[in-house]
């Protein structure tokens, strides 16, 4: 063990050096991370094509505000039928959809073509788990790549202006408060 101590110390020092921010003190901004980050806009030219579960092509941009006129906010939920944490979120998603749906909130599930998933398996999972929101299929992985997610489940909350208000793994405990805030008009939010 004593012989390994210098190796571990050297390895720790190498990791610490690698973690140093090399952009500190420079005028160059660090590169933007790929994907949807809170505060960013969904690009106007966001042209990712997915399909509905019958196989018809759908431009995902049309399911997100501001292109989607029937929604004040959309929660994109990236998932797979075999993903246990994804399945565990479904009852909460159903409840959020039931409560906030009449207020202009929409959920769009985007099933991923990973682990052998198919539109048929997603449809079966919808029926088995009582999914009450739209589910699309990302057969080519384009939506997954655009969202820049490291894993699933991954959700992205987009407001009426096309601004990402939250993005991350799993639903946060404060999901209901986030949705309520997004659904509240800006002028009312400022007066609280």
Return the closest-CA partner of residue 75 out of 143, 142, 151, 166.
166
Q: pLDDT tens, 61-117?
A: 889 888 888 889 999 999 999 999 999 999 999 999 999 999 999 999 999 988 888
**pLDDT averaged over every residue in the chain:** 79
**So what's the pLDDT on residue 180?**
93
In terms of C-beta density within 10 A (0-12 exposed, 13-18 middle, 19 or more buried), how is residue 142 classed?
middle
Q: Give the residue with greater pLDDT, 120 vs 188.
A: 120
Residue 106 lies in a domain: yes
Residue 94 lies in a domain: yes
Q: Is the pLDDT of residue 27 over 80?
A: no
Cα atoms in the 13 Å half-sphere on the side-chain side of 55: 1
Domain span at 136: 52-168
Task: Tell me if 77 is assigned to some domain.
Answer: yes
CATH number of the domain within which 133 lies: 3.40.30.10
User: Domain for residue 68, yes or no?
Assistant: yes
Indicate whether 185 belongs to any domain: no
Q: H or E stretch including 138?
A: strand 134-138
Taking alpha carbons only, the member of 137, 168, 141, 155 closest to residue 90 is 155
| Residue 135, in any domain of the structure | yes
Q: Is residue 6 part of a domain?
A: no
Would 12 be classed as within a structural domain? no
Domain tally, the chain: 1
């Amino acid at each position: 063990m004593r012989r390994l101590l210098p190796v571990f110390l050297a390895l720790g020092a190498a990791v610490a050096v690698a973690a140093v921010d090399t952009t500190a003190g420079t005028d160059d901004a660090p590169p933007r991370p790929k994907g949807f980050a809170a505060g960013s806009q969904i690009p106007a030219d966001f042209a990712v094509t997915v399909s509905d579960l019958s196989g018809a092509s759908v431009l995902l941009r049309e399911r997100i505000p501001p292109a989607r006129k029937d929604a004040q906010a959309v929660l994109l939920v990236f998932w797979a039928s075999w993903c246990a944490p994804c399945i565990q979120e479904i009852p909460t998603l159903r409840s959020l959809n039931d409560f906030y749906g009449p207020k202009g909130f929409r959920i769009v599930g985007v099933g991923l073509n990973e682990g052998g998933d198919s539109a048929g398996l997603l449809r079966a999972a919808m029926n088995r788990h009582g999914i009450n929101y739209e589910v699309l299929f990302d057969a080519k992985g384009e939506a997954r790549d655009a969202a820049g997610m490291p894993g699933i489940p991954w959700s992205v909350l987009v407001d009426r202006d096309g601004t990402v208000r939250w993005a991350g793994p799993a639903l946060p405990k404060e999901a209901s408060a986030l949705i309520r805030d997004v659904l509240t008009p800006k002028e009312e939010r400022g007066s609280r």
